[in-house]
């Protein structure tokens, strides 16, 4: 896989997660490097961030298609309006995923692209999900078990869901509204303290097993799981 994203934290988090999912990832920081790398090596799938400075993801996509590249291309972007999606598909992309996204959805879309390209893909139903690992923090999602350096934590359903969301996007600051939507299904509004309360619960339980400062407050944005 060729992965291009100018945000180092997002790029590193994605490279780690995709590598754990079985992909051999070549990661680059901008569109110029993406075009150059695509001309040197053969890839099974290409993932491009749209909003890169200079040569953006749309331009990379157009150049690669003009050069005759038929490799499946997935675009990642925070732009979610219909005209933006249309622009991406018109540029030659095969699929489009809006940020922020769940890793499971990204993996499912990648499997779909690879199947369409005629490449063998493991059946997601039979596959055993890899545990989520952020440093010494380990999350077994199917078993809903969390541990730090081998010391198990006992979390409620909501606490586990919140920690899982932050861990899946480790190194990426998630906005309050995004977290509310993913965990509770809707935003309680700017006056709500619900999220802060659950973050406090999690921090206490993490501290009890020696895991301090994993959850960072990003002022004016939301929260982030700190990369080791």
127, 58 Cβ separation under 8 angstroms? no
Confidence of residue 126 (pLDDT cuts 50, 70, 90): very low
pLDDT at 64 over 80: yes
| Strand residue runs (E) in the chain | 2-4, 26-28, 46-49, 73-77, 95-98, 132-134, 137-140, 145-148, 151-153, 174-175, 215-218, 222-225
Q: Which of 185, 30, 211, 10 is nearest to 99 (CA)?
A: 10
> What pLDDT is stored for residue 193 in this prediction?
84
Q: What domains, with CATH codes, occur in the chain?
A: 2-116 (3.40.50.2300), 132-225 (1.10.10.10)
Report the distance separating Cα 122 and Cα 138, nearest Å: 24
Structure confidence at residue 34 (pLDDT): 93
The answer on pLDDT for 78 being more than 80 is no
The predicted-structure confidence for 180-222, as pLDDT tens digits, reads as follows 877 876 666 667 788 999 999 999 999 999 988 899 999 988 9
CA distance 220 to 223: 10
């Amino acid at each position: 896989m060729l992965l291009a994203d100018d945000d180092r934290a997002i790029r590193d988090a994605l490279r780690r997660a995709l590598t754990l999912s079985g992909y051999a990832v070549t990661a680059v920081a901008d569109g110029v490097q993406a075009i150059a790398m695509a001309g040197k090596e053969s890839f099974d799938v290409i993932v491009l961030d749209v909003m890169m400075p200079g040569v953006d993801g749309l331009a990379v996509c157009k150049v690669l298609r003009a050069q005759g590249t038929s490799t499946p291309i997935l675009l990642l972007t925070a732009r979610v309006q219909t005209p933006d999606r249309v622009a991406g598909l018109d540029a030659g992309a095969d699929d489009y995923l809006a940020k922020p996204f769940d890793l499971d959805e990204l993996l499912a879309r990648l499997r779909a692209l690879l199947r369409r390209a005629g490449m063998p893909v493991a059946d997601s139903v039979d596959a055993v999900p890899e545990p989520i690992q952020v440093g010494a923090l380990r999350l077994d999602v199917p078993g809903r078990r969390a541990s730090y350096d081998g010391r198990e934590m006992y979390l409620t359903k909501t606490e586990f869901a919140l920690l899982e969301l932050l861990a899946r996007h480790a190194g990426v600051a998630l906005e309050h509204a995004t977290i509310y939507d993913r965990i509770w299904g809707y935003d309680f509004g700017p006056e709500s303290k619900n999220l802060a309360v659950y973050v406090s619960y999690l921090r206490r339980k993490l501290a009890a097993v020696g895991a301090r400062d994993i959850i960072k407050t990003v002022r004016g944005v939301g929260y982030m799981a700190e990369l080791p």
